[in-house]
Amino acid sequence: MANVFYPNTSTNIKTEYLKGITYFERFKTRSDLTSIFITPSTSDELHLAVFLLLDFLSRPCELETILKLIRDGYKHDHFKDSIKHNLPHAEIWSSVKVYEAINDFTYFLIKMFQDFRAWGKIENPTTEVNQFLEKMASSEITNFKKLHQFQIKRCCQQYALFSALYIAKYIGLYPYVDGIAWSLTSEQENAGIYSKYNIFNWMIHLLKMKSLIQDDESQKVPGDDFDDDQHEGMSDGDMSSQSFIEDGSMYTSPDEDKKLPIHFFHTNVLQRFANLFTIQVSKTGNFVSSPKFPWTYKDFLEQQCHIDFDDFFSLMCNQYKRESHDFFQPLIPGSIRYKKKKEEG
């Protein structure tokens, strides 16, 4: 891959194996290009973002899935949504911010899948999950822990990317939602600001929320800004600059019937992954033949691993409509902003 993306300088790419850690994971940990390049040099941002995205794949044949996704995105997928938003449809897959957002979302999922504190918050875990967590919590079987931590690491990277590919393909980069409608002005289109308001940054915005918006209609205040930490993703900077919510206990809002969006991911997306992984792995640590862990995108779809993202998108457009409206507020001139609920404590 280094030879393809950097044919003239491929020897400047660090290609040594680092226990299954992807280039993007190295980059996010070190926060500089020395984790990828031997001698950092000026690199095209779009070029680099695509290079990092492809490294999430463990099966090279799945490259065709990504190529078809981009091809169909240019040709016809979600064209009607682009018309409603007044988007330059032929350009939406040319933005570096789209690939950066896909990488950030994929990394978000990877961190969640590898976080055993989050596993411990799974509601009604299966027998296999419970037995697995008991062994992982033991201080006596270190070989078991090391083996399975590594296996989870290798399993979750491609699984996370498959999740992102499904969202881009079937939900779209810029889905049109009644009640959260926006249409670009010529000035906004020329400035290219729309690219950071894609589906992945929208999801990350919701998943990293630490409090929700007041449900009381009387609390609407025109122009009332939220706390700065709630809008870090609105800057031109990287969306992932917000801290990852690892505390699985931060679920409830003052409205006890409405939980934070991350709760859905822990109790659905993570639970599905945990179920598949723990059933797949035998007591000896070897993979069994059935049920099949989705090693291909086709398997991912056939085993219905994508349905949680359809359900979450429905929540984004309904239960979290006000929080979603806040994300798109800069694209909706004259819109009303809602006060954020104060955390109890």
Single pTM value for the model: 0.82
> Kind and range of the H or E element at 335?
none
Q: Is the pLDDT of residue 12 over 60?
A: yes
Residue-averaged pLDDT of the chain = 80
Name the residue with tokens 């008991």: 134
Q: What is the pLDDT of residue 292?
A: 74
**Average pLDDT of 107-120?**
93
Characterize 114-123 residue by residue with b for buried, 16 or more Cβ atoms within 10 angstroms of its Cβ, and e for exposed: ebeebbebbe
Task: Read off the tokens for 334.
Answer: 């004259």
Task: Read off the tokens for 118.
Answer: 């989050």
Q: Which residues 6+ apart lie within 8 Å of 130 measured at CB?
A: none
What is the phi-psi region of residue 86: left when phi exceeds 0, alpha when psi lies from -120 to 50, beta otherwise? left
Give the CA-trace dihedral at 9, 10, 13, 18, to 10 degrees: 180
Higher pLDDT, 173 or 121: 173
Cα 161 to Cα 182: distance, rounded to the nearest angstrom: 28
Q: 167-181, 205-219, 246-260, 296-310: which has the minimum mean pLDDT? A: 246-260
Higher pLDDT, 259 or 160: 160
Q: Is the pLDDT of residue 342 over 90?
A: no
Burial of 199 (0-12, 13-18, 19+ CB in 10 A): buried
Name the residue with tokens 């000026």: 42
C-alpha angle 172/178/184, rounded to 5°?
70
Q: What is the pLDDT of residue 194?
A: 87
Give the CA-trace dihedral at 167, 302, 207, 173, to 10 degrees: 0
Q: Is the pLDDT of residue 297 over 90?
A: yes
CB atoms closer than 10 angstroms to residue 30: 11
Dihedral over Cα of 10, 16, 18, 19: its sign = positive
Q: Where are the domains of the chain?
A: 65-331
Q: Is the pLDDT of residue 35 over 60?
A: yes
Q: 14-28, 36-50, 220-234: which has the minimum mean pLDDT? A: 220-234
Q: Is the pLDDT of residue 324 over 60?
A: yes
- The gap between the terminal CA atoms of the chain, to the nearest Å, is 51
Q: 149-153, 154-158, 220-224, 334-338: which has the minimum mean pLDDT? A: 220-224
Task: Read off the tokens for 251.
Answer: 């679920």
Q: Which residues pair with 221 in a beta bridge?
A: 337
Q: 28-37, 110-119, 164-173, 180-189: which has the minimum mean pLDDT? A: 28-37
CB atoms closer than 10 angstroms to residue 2: 18
**Average pLDDT of 164-173?**
97
Q: Is the pLDDT of residue 233 over 50?
A: no
Q: 23-37, 258-272, 316-330: which has the minimum mean pLDDT? A: 23-37
